[in-house]
Amino acid sequence: MLFKKFVLIAVATGLMIGVTARAQDAGALLDLLVKKRLITDQEAEEVRSELTKDAAATSAGKLKLSAPITEVELYGDMRVRYETREGATASTVPGTPGPNDTLKRSRERYRFRLGLRGTLADDWFFGLRLETSTNPRSTNVTFGDDAGPFGKASDAIGIGQAYLGYSGFRDIRLTAGKMPNPLVTTLMVWDGDINPEGLAEQWKHSYNFSFGGGTTPAAESSSKDGKNVAAVESEPFKVKLDLFMNLAQFVYDDSNPENPLGVRAVSGGRLVPNSDAWLLAWQMGARLNLPKNVYFQVAPVLYNYTGAGDTFNNFFVGGQQGITNTASMALNQVGINSLLVLEVPAEFGFKIGELPVRIFGDFAVNFDGGDRAIAAGHPEAQDQRYAYQIGAGIGQLKVKHDWQLQAFWQHTEQYALDPNLVDSDFFDSRVNVQGVVVQGGYALSDAIIFNLSYGYGRRADRSLGTGGVGDIGINPLDKYQIFQADLNVKF
Amino acid sequence: MKITHLALALGLAFAATEARAEKLVIKGSDTLGAKLVPQLAEQFKAQHPGTTFDIAAEGSTTGIAAIIDGTAQIGMSSRRAKSSEVGAASAKGVHMKPTIVAYDGIAVIVNSANPIKSLTKKQVEQIFAGDITDWSAVGGSGGKISVYTRNTSSGTYSDFKELAMKKRDYASGSQKMAGNEQIAAEVGKNSNGVGYVGLAYTKAGGIRVVSIDGVLPSVQTVHAKTYPYARPTFYYTNGDPTGLAKQFLDFTISAAGQKIAAQVGFVPIP
């Protein structure tokens, strides 16, 4: 009897500590105690009832989730930033106050992202993320940029991600909606803030190999004096190979309507398109994981575009040398004609002591770059179809006092890439720019990261514009630099 | 002096009559309230003349709500109170105290003309969730399955979802019945019907209880917890019961009360 009382008190006390988490575990433990006849069903019910009561009084106990949700995670980040970016005109721009005129933009900004992702019964999953800003390539809001002082017009929250998917087939993950980019890529081709919309199908499978190792039999070993020595054990050389494939069909621009009343309109001598624009991607990749944290990954991806939507029915020009800045910027900067791009991102990583090091790079070629140059009025620049990036980084930012340094060089030619996707910071959403980026970060705590970034770029081909629409209203953008200081909170 | 004594005697007699005429309000589970509790009440009344009962068997949810609202002294429930209910009770200063009064096994029933005699737990989940819609998929002779379930205020409805369906939703075409007897009656009339009832309702005509993974619900399998859909049933009170509620609860779990529970078809407390 005394033992039974002791068990009950111990169980109740133990479960009361950290009530929320333990209330869920209590059922199995109580059932076991009943099964072992240490307590009765009635006593178990009374303990269970007390636990439920205490759990219901906690903050977590007041949160109710629908039954089909099997796991849910709330996450997000907040960032305050000081940024200054500056662009310079070419020395030969007509109508400018003088050669090498500059446009400078300094601002204090913040961003906020709040996400919810989870799994559902029967292998379904979902994700939702709210973000500041409506810009597809930025989540920043600039302080004081709206009516006020301290207005809220630009501080709206948008849906950054809203997707659902199914992972019930072995090694396969299917996603539909506005999703995190499923492709392995770099800032050279895709701005990190873009959440593409459409469908993605991902496959990944790991293969494990083991070479050599085992125990050398004692009888086959001997010392110099002829005596037998102990058996020698050696570790096998283990290799893990991850193969993956990412397929994507993104709705680039919706056409509305698909079938207009009457005769289809004509614009610029061409029929106004009546089909959606799609960005299609096919990626195959491999990551080879070797012992001692050494790895190599390469993931070629081919991009193709179909349709023109409502907005992309004009040929890309990307600015023009030798005309006024205003006229140059008015030339089409966003066309997606003649883009059949192969991108090959690659990364090699290892450790120096405890410090992770990575050497990374990216290469892209637009197989239709010649046609894109001709359509832009520059048949002499058909070779301007390549882009590449090479860089290295050391360190990581996971826990307090971690640090990281990274630098890369990037060269992007005028007809190599889709200017609507390239990173908006380095280098101002432009192509035909080359330059260097240096970044450093320090973890003030596990959740607080301080980052400094600097980028400097110059026009790559001085006879062409710098295609794309950025924050600096200059085209051609002859020189460009940017500095950012960030304080990030992650949760 | 004699008048004073007479008045005192009359007063005491009136008070005694009032005490004997005390009413016990019991609300909640249809599983308990349709058969077991009325029979217990009859026996209890025989031992406590003048006691009256107000029994409303409209589902476990209503019983638990009645304890929270203070509109019943005993809340019958075939399921445990949910954390949201316990939280709501605490906010009102009500302490939900469960007392196990009997055990039950939720029996899966089919029409007696149906050749199916056994199902697996997975098949039961798939049938009630709507993944399987034809008897031929589980070895039957074919025919569109008609699923009968209890309504949402029923504790059996909740317990079955938890015990048998991994908390999945019932098939969209399932028909919701007010009580065990209605489910048994419908399955008894429909050769393609399937439903679930408490053990006390398995003697209805035209139905057959199927075994689950080879185990039939019985006193032995419920006590041993080898039947997968075994469960305790409860009286909920606001804290420790007192007065008439305590007397009735004590009677329910006494040997005499448990004998009645067994006669009705419940599994008595071991």
Q: What is the pLDDT of residues B188-233, one digit of tens each?
A: 999 999 999 999 899 999 999 999 999 999 999 999 989 999 999 9
- In this complex, which of A35, A46, A52 lies closest to B86 when CB atoms are compared? A52
- In this complex, which of B90, B166, B169 lies closest to A53 when CB atoms are compared? B90
**Which residue type occupies A306?**
T
Q: What is the pLDDT of residues B83-99, one digit of tens each?
A: 889 888 988 899 999 99
Q: Looking at the structure, do residues A462 and A432 belong to the same domain, yes or no?
A: yes
Q: What is the pLDDT of residues A207-242, one digit of tens each?
A: 999 887 766 555 444 444 555 555 666 778 889 999
For A:208-267, CB contacts with B below 8 A are none
Averaged pLDDT for residues A381-409? 97
Residues 6+ apart with CB under 8 A from B122: none
Residue listed under structure tokens 């020395």 = A91
Tokens coding B168? 């999945």
Residue A218 belongs to a domain: yes
Query: A52–B80: do the CB atoms touch at under 8 Å?
Result: yes
**Which residue type occupies A440?**
G
In Å, how far are A319, A421, B218 from A86, measured between CA atoms? Answer: 18, 21, 82
What is the rounded CA–CA span in Å between residue A284 and residue A430?
27
Q: What is the pLDDT of residues A175-208, one digit of tens each?
A: 999 999 999 999 999 999 999 999 999 999 999 9
Give the pLDDT confidence score for residue A14 in this predicted structure. Answer: 53
Tokens coding A228? 């037998």
**Chain B interface test: which of A19, A33, A39, A42 (most B C-beta within 10 Å):** A42
Give the pLDDT confidence score for residue A19 in this predicted structure. Answer: 47
How would residue A25 be classed by pLDDT, with cut points 50, 70 and 90?
Answer: low
For B:18-37, CB contacts with A below 8 A are none
CATH class for the region spanning B2-103+232-264: alpha beta
The alpha carbon of residue A11 is apart from the nearest alpha carbon of chain B, in Å, by 18
Q: Looking at the structure, do residues A10 and A94 belong to the same domain, yes or no?
A: no
Residue A124 belongs to a domain: no
B223 in contact with A, Cβ within 8 Å:
no
Residues of chain A in contact with residue B98, where contact means CB-CB under 8 angstroms, are 45-46, 49
Q: What is the DSSP string of A258-327?
A: SS-SSSPPEETTEEPP-S-EEEEEEEEEEEEEETTTEEEEE--EEEEEE--TTT--S------TTS-HHH
The three state secondary structure string of chain B is CHHHHHHHHHHHHHHHHHHHCCEEEEEECHHHHCCHHHHHHHHHHHHCCCCEEEEEECCHHHHHHHHHHCCCCEEEECCCCCHHHHHHHHHCCCCEEEEEEEEEECEEEEECCCCCCEECHHHHHHHHHCCCCEHHHHCCCCCECEEEEECCCCHHHHHHHHHHCCCCCCCCCCEEECCHHHHHHHHHHCCCEEEEECHHHCCCCCEEECEECCECCCHHHHHCCCCCCEEEEEEEEECCCCHHHHHHHHHHHCHHHHHHHHHHCCECCC
Tally of domains within chain A: 2
In Å, how far are A21, A77, A258, B146 from A237, measured between CA atoms? Answer: 41, 40, 59, 59
Residue A179 belongs to a domain: no
Residue A376 belongs to a domain: yes
Mean pLDDT of chain A: 89
- In this complex, which of B100, B161, B169 lies closest to A45 when CB atoms are compared? B100
What is the rounded CA–CA span in Å between residue B247 and residue B255?
14
Tokens coding A286? 């491999």
Query: A57–B90: do the CB atoms touch at under 8 Å?
Result: yes
A380 in contact with B, Cβ within 8 Å:
no
Residue A204 belongs to a domain: yes
Averaged pLDDT for residues B163-183? 91
Q: Is the peptide bond before A273 cis (omega within 30 degrees of 0)?
A: no
Give the pLDDT confidence score for residue B236 in this predicted structure. Answer: 97
Query: B83–A55: do the CB atoms touch at under 8 Å?
Result: yes
For B:106-145, CB contacts with A below 8 A are none
Q: Which residue did the predictor score with more confidence, A273 or B177?
A: B177
Q: What is the pLDDT of residues A360-383, one digit of tens each?
A: 999 999 999 999 999 999 999 999
What is the rounded CA–CA span in Å between residue B80 and residue B85?
10
Query: B166–A121: do the CB atoms touch at under 8 Å?
Result: yes
Tokens coding B219? 């006193």
* In this structure, CATH architecture of domain B107-216: 3-Layer(aba) Sandwich (3.40)
Query: B168–A68: do the CB atoms touch at under 8 Å?
Result: yes
The alpha carbon of residue B227 is apart from the nearest alpha carbon of chain A, in Å, by 14
Residues of chain B in contact with residue A61, where contact means CB-CB under 8 angstroms, are 83, 87
Residue A357 belongs to a domain: yes
Averaged pLDDT for residues B147-155? 90
Domain that holds residue A56: 2-62
**Chain A interface test: which of B77, B79, B83 (most A C-beta within 10 Å):** B83
pTM reported for the whole predicted model: 0.69
Domains B2-103+232-264 and B107-216 share a fold: yes
Paired residues of A56 in beta bridges: none
Nearest to A243 by CA among A289, A291, A185: A289
Q: Looking at the structure, do residues A37 and A102 belong to the same domain, yes or no?
A: no
Residues of chain B in contact with residue A42, where contact means CB-CB under 8 angstroms, are 99-100
Residue B8 predicted with pLDDT over 50: no
Q: What is the pLDDT of residues B33-80, one digit of tens each?
A: 999 999 999 999 999 998 999 999 989 999 999 999 999 999 999 999
Neighbour-count burial for B164-198, b at 16+ CB within 10 Å, e otherwise: bbbebebbeebbbbebbbbbbbbbbebbbbbbbbb
Q: What is the pLDDT of residues A401-453, one digit of tens each?
A: 999 999 999 999 999 999 999 999 999 999 999 999 999 999 999 999 999 99
Give the least confident one: A94-98, A132-136, A386-390. Answer: A94-98
Whether the complex's predicted ipTM surpasses the cut of 0.90? no
What is the rounded CA–CA span in Å between residue A246 and residue A201?
6
Tokens coding A225? 């004096």
For A:28-87, CB contacts with B below 8 A are 35, 41-42, 45-46, 48-49, 52-53, 55-57, 61-62, 64, 67-68
Would you kindly state where each structural domain of chain B is located, as residue ranges?
A: 2-103+232-264, 107-216
